[in-house]
Amino acid sequence: MPSPSLPSRRKALQFLAGVPMLPLGAGAAAAFVAQAAAAKGSTGASYRAASFGSMAAPSLATPAAMATTTVGSTLNVQFSDDSSQSYQLAYQPFFMTGDQVPSTAGGTILAGGYFDIHNRPIIDASVPGKERQFFSDCPDGTSLLKLDKARVQGVKGHPVFAVVQFEYTTRNQAQASMYGQLPSPIAVLTLDQDPATGKLSLVKYHNVDTSAVKGLWITCGASLSPWNTHLSSEEYEPDAMLATNAQLQSFSKNLFGDATKANPYDYGHMPEVTVHPDGTGSIKKHYCMGRISHELVQVMPDQRTALMGDDATNGGLFMFVADKAKDLSAGTLYVGQWTQTSGTGPGAGNIRWIRLGHATSAEIKALVDGGIKPADIMDVKTSDPADSSYTQIFFNGKKNWVKLQPGMDKAAAFLETHRYAALKGGSMGFTKMEGTTVNVKDKRAYSAMSYVQSSMLKGNAANQGDIQVEGPKAGAVYEHILMGDQKDTAGNPIHSEWVSVRMEAPAALIGEDLAKADALGNLAHADKIANPDNIKFAEKLRTLFIGEDSGMHVNNFLWAYNVDTQQLSRVLSVPAGAESTGLQAVDEINGWTYVMSNFQHAGDWESPLHDVVKPKLDPLVRANYKDRFGASVGYLTAVQTQMTLDKPRKG
């Protein structure tokens, strides 16, 4: 179909400015949608609602589709005159990790590359004669944003930025695990947004200098703050109580060149990245939001309240209320207390809040910099001391006996948060509570419980008693009811209108375990969510997007759940063995709607899950993704084809 005239295109774009619409491909696809929209606009019809048409799960009948990012879904838009229009979706990568891409400093830089405390490349020398800079196969949290007065050389349309963090790298060239042994890189991408089509193209890549915050530890999910900064994460904080920690020592050696230099209390906090108009970025860490397994936090519209999951066994639901809007450097930390109202399936419960303490980031960091030791804060035993001055708690699936040192409540609340929250009576029985997001209109929030297992189950050795549910292992997404005028358990007012008071999982957002694997190897129902992880809500689309991190689906999926119709649609499938990450739903940037999506660790085969498919898929995955060392960073776009693959570059 020929492109419309310039006046026609402008008319269409003016119409689309009020319509939530995914960015379009160039050329005929753009013309197709622009003309369709212009036609609707000429009749006076306006946007009413949108939904997603579900794609089928890929099968071994099309092994190529199982071995790459595959999209066969549609976006369906309904108009006020009862007409509708459907648009085919596809995946558009910016780059594959391990590619050389243009750098803000000039020349090129290795996408997803690792750097030490002096910003020197960290070299993988595990195979003699094949030395190369480490790069990640695990891109994760992504924030797409725009800035006023942005100026970056090479941008022809609108400058748009994306912050992308890289959680870890799976292995070195000798195939030894490198999980958590390298300081996580984080990058600012300068993107060129085509004003006519919304297409995003990579122009520059900036590696953020993290030396001022002593490097980053396992950066997983992320969110965009209401004030336009990237809220990162540090997951699975190193246990300071261990006599030796081989993972921390290896991390320290790679970061500092000294296996003893890294202090565990510097990790497990909330990093925040600020993007600058020239395409660079700077970073700080907030030491006052609890030292937990931070995943994907959600700051509420008051710009003060942060609802936080905790990706751990014996994890908790946490809330931070900042003293000032747009400033997370000081505030009050709370832990949730679950009162169960149903134990069926993933269960349901009312939530009250225990105040753990108030602090500034500066004062907690000063304790760390001053050399505070774990024994200064509390005494911890891993076997029963038969001493009533100790309190039994559960920590990371095991019993601990804890005694707080005098005057150390604040240090314990913010540096030994898991143990202190359990000591104060918090419900520390959740397992792998991952992403959190908010539905502002309905005043609801959502939390992904990746696996409803172990410490959540009645009778389990790690169960502390208050959360006692049935499952499923395939997990669930819980909905929170948010309210104001709440008091903590001591009767003090909580200064927030966005406090969770109840958690319950909608039926459509509960996974289903299979009694035995299906013919492909799936251990959970393929047409239901399994092990939800990244979640983001799109206000204009009224849609909750859910990315999987499943050891129960052969391919992990990205889902769209319409909260009004309760329709669940499969939108995208990532390569077999990979996890769906980097999810962000962006309602509008310069008139265009975006869904950001990455994946990580393609071909990370598990047995028996992948036993059926591995022989056929492993060669394809290796060919597509740099022998399993590469992974894609990108977004969903609209095209006219029925099904498209991401067509990654080889090499």
**pLDDT averaged per 10 residues, the chain (length 651):** 30 32 44 41 72 96 97 90 88 97 97 98 98 98 96 95 98 97 98 94 98 97 97 97 96 98 98 98 98 95 97 96 98 98 98 98 98 97 96 96 98 98 97 95 98 95 95 98 98 98 98 97 98 96 96 98 97 98 94 94 97 98 98 84 43 34
Helical residues (DSSP H) of 25-136, grouped into ranges: 28-42, 63-66
What's the confidence (pLDDT) of residue 51?
92
What's the confidence (pLDDT) of residue 85?
85
Provide φ and ψ at 360, rounded to 5°. Answer: -105, 155
Q: How many other C-beta atoms can be found within 10 angstroms of the C-beta atom of residue 9?
A: 19
Question: 624 is written with which tokens?
Answer: 């597509």
Residue of 215, 260, 261, 218 whose CA lies nearest to 238 = 218
> What is the per-residue burial (b if ≥16 Cβ within 10 Å, else e) of 297-331?
bbbbeebbbbbbbbbbbbbbbbbbbbeeeeebbbb
**Can you tell me the distance from the alpha carbon of 178 to that of 539, in angstroms, rounded to the nearest whole number?**
38
What's the confidence (pLDDT) of residue 43?
55
What's the confidence (pLDDT) of residue 285?
98
What's the confidence (pLDDT) of residue 212?
97
- pTM for the whole structure: 0.92
In the chain, the N- to C-terminal Cα span, in Å, equals 35
Residue of 440, 418, 437 whose CA lies nearest to 429 = 418
**Can you tell me the distance from the alpha carbon of 599 to that of 583, in angstroms, rounded to the nearest whole number?**
9
Question: 323 is written with which tokens?
Answer: 């003293």
Tokens 């707080």 locate to: 404
What's the confidence (pLDDT) of residue 22?
58
Indicate the SS3 state at residue 101: strand
Amino acid at 61: A
State whether the Cα torsion 233-213-225-316 is positive or negative: positive
Q: Report whether the peptide linkage leading into residue 346 is cis, meaning its omega lies within 30 degrees of zero.
A: no
Q: For residues 268 and 294, is the Cβ–Cβ distance under 8 A?
A: yes
What's the confidence (pLDDT) of residue 625?
98
**Can you tell me the distance from the alpha carbon of 518 to that of 552, in angstroms, rounded to the nearest whole number?**
11
Q: For residues 432 and 317, is the Cβ–Cβ distance under 8 A?
A: no
What's the confidence (pLDDT) of residue 82?
87
**Can you tell me the distance from the alpha carbon of 467 to that of 268, in angstroms, rounded to the nearest whole number?**
25
What's the confidence (pLDDT) of residue 273?
98
State whether the Cα torsion 581-586-587-590 is positive or negative: negative
Q: Which residues face 205 on adjacent strands? A: 103, 189
User: Virtual CA dihedral for 436, 428, 601, 297, nearest 10 degrees?
Assistant: 20
Q: Are strands 313-315 and 433-439 parallel, antiparallel or unpaired?
A: unpaired
Polymer length of the chain = 651
Q: For residues 549 and 606, is the Cβ–Cβ distance under 8 A?
A: no
- Gyration radius of the chain over CA positions: 24
What's the confidence (pLDDT) of residue 125?
98
Q: Which residues face 135 on adjacent strands? A: 113
**Can you tell me the distance from the alpha carbon of 614 to that of 589, in angstroms, rounded to the nearest whole number?**
40
Q: Which residues face 283 on adjacent strands? A: 273
Kindly provide the residue ranges of all beta strands, DSSP E only, lying in 317-376, ordered along the sequence: 318-324, 327-342, 348-360
What's the confidence (pLDDT) of residue 500?
98
State whether the Cα torsion 83-89-92-96 is positive or negative: positive
Residue of 383, 467, 397 whose CA lies nearest to 239 = 397
Question: 299 is written with which tokens?
Answer: 């700051």
**Can you tell me the distance from the alpha carbon of 625 to that of 236, in angstroms, rounded to the nearest whole number?**
27
Indicate the SS3 state at residue 555: coil
Question: 468 is written with which tokens?
Answer: 């006692």
